[in-house]
Amino acid sequence: MAEVKYKGENAATGHEGEIVVDIDHISKSFGSKEVLKDISLQLKKGENIVVLGKSGQGKSVTIQCIVGLLTPDNGTVKVFGDDVAGMDEDELKKLRTRVGFLFQSGALYDSMTVRENLEFPLTRVLKMADKAEIDTRVEEVLEGVGLMDAVDKMPSDLSGGMRKRVGLARTLIVKPEIMLYDEPTTGLDPITSREISELILNMQKKYQTSSIIITHDMECAKITADRVVVMRDGTYIAEGNFDELQHSDDEFVRSFFTETK
């Protein structure tokens, strides 16, 4: 197991950049089920962290703690230096304009066109009113996800991959500083998956976005990750870059990389 870098040994030092998300020894149980036992993670500005782990391990629970949708039983989560558990509704609302969350389901409003879906966060969340400015943002983001042609379509007229891209566009349109991607490529064909992964990378480069990306898609991990963490039994058991973990001595860690899609 010598090659595996364990949390603590290789923890972010804070010298290399601003820490935007600081998860400090959190735990979370549901009833008698202990889901998160001891999770610590520091996301630095401009960094992409990929989280690997089997189903039901608490990956989604962890990122829900970052935006205050769930509260840990113990430990703290700080975003931009502020403790999320101490925020009131207004502060949480404000936080969620800075932290974009691409849900695992990626739900769109089915009764609204693509354009209306995209305008919604601008008018409701950012309270933008300038029509020209709104149009520019909508066009910019649709171009980014390659869906200019779909602007007047209803979600039901789109393929799964297109819906996913609209979901991504709707999250990106407010230009969040932090992005939380929960399985962004699940259910997509390999080509669309690759496009989404490259889009995630482009967002990081273009806007210095910091991201946590939960994925089972190793190509997505390879394309997007600056750093990979592996979750097991409620804690992170390994941390390193893609190549390090791919060649880890730990069979469990390596098993994620040998699975074929």
Ligand X SMILES: Nc1ncnc2c1ncn2[C@@H]1O[C@H](COP(=O)(O)OP(=O)(O)OP(=O)(O)O)[C@@H](O)[C@H]1O
Q: Taking CB under 6 A as the rule, does residue 210 contact ligand X? A: no
> From the list 4, 49, 57, 178, which residue makes contact with ligand X (rule: CB under 6 A)?
57
Q: Extract the tokens encoding 120.
A: 């919604």
Task: Name the amino acid, one letter, at 131.
Answer: K
Q: Extract the tokens encoding 3.
A: 């090659």
Query: Could you tell me the smallest distance in angstroms from the CB atom of residue 52 to ligand X?
Result: 10
Q: Taking CB under 5 A as the rule, does residue 60 contact Mg ion? A: yes
Q: Extract the tokens encoding 208.
A: 């210095």
Query: Could you tell me the smallest distance in angstroms from the CB atom of residue 248 to ligand X?
Result: 20
- Looking at beta carbons only, is 63 or 174 nearer to ligand X? 63
- Looking at beta carbons only, is 4 or 51 nearer to Mg ion? 51
> From the list 5, 59, 163, 170, which residue makes contact with ligand X (rule: CB under 6 A)?
59
Site string for Mg ion, 2-41 (x = CB under 5 A): ----------------------------------------
Query: Could you tell me the smallest distance in angstroms from the CB atom of residue 56 to ligand X?
Result: 5
Nearest to 147 by CA among 131, 176, 179, 169: 169
Q: Which does 53 bind (CB under 5 to 8 A by kind): Mg ion, ligand X, none?
A: ligand X
Q: Extract the tokens encoding 203.
A: 């967002």
Segment contacting Mg ion by CB under 5 A, of 42-50, 52-60, 86-94, 147-155 = 52-60
Site string for ligand X, 11-40 (x = CB under 6 A): -------------------x----x-----
Strand pairing partners for 176? none
Question: Please, which of residues 165-194 interact with Mg ion by CB under 5 A?
Answer: none
Q: Taking CB under 6 A as the rule, does residue 68 contact ligand X? A: no
Rounded distance, CA 220 to CA 183, Å?
A: 10
Question: Please, which of residues 101-140 interact with ligand X by CB under 6 A?
Answer: 104
Q: Extract the tokens encoding 147.
A: 């869906």
> From the list 46, 58, 167, 176, which residue makes contact with ligand X (rule: CB under 6 A)?
58
Q: Taking CB under 6 A as the rule, does residue 60 contact ligand X? A: yes
User: Do 129 and 123 meet the contact criterion of CB atoms below 8 Å apart?
Assistant: yes
Query: Could you tell me the smallest distance in angstroms from the CB atom of residue 98 to Mg ion?
Result: 22
What value does the CA radius of gyration of the chain take, rounded to a whole number of Å?
18
Binding site for Mg ion (CB under 5 A): 60
* Site for ligand X, rule CB under 6 A: 30, 35, 53, 55-61, 104
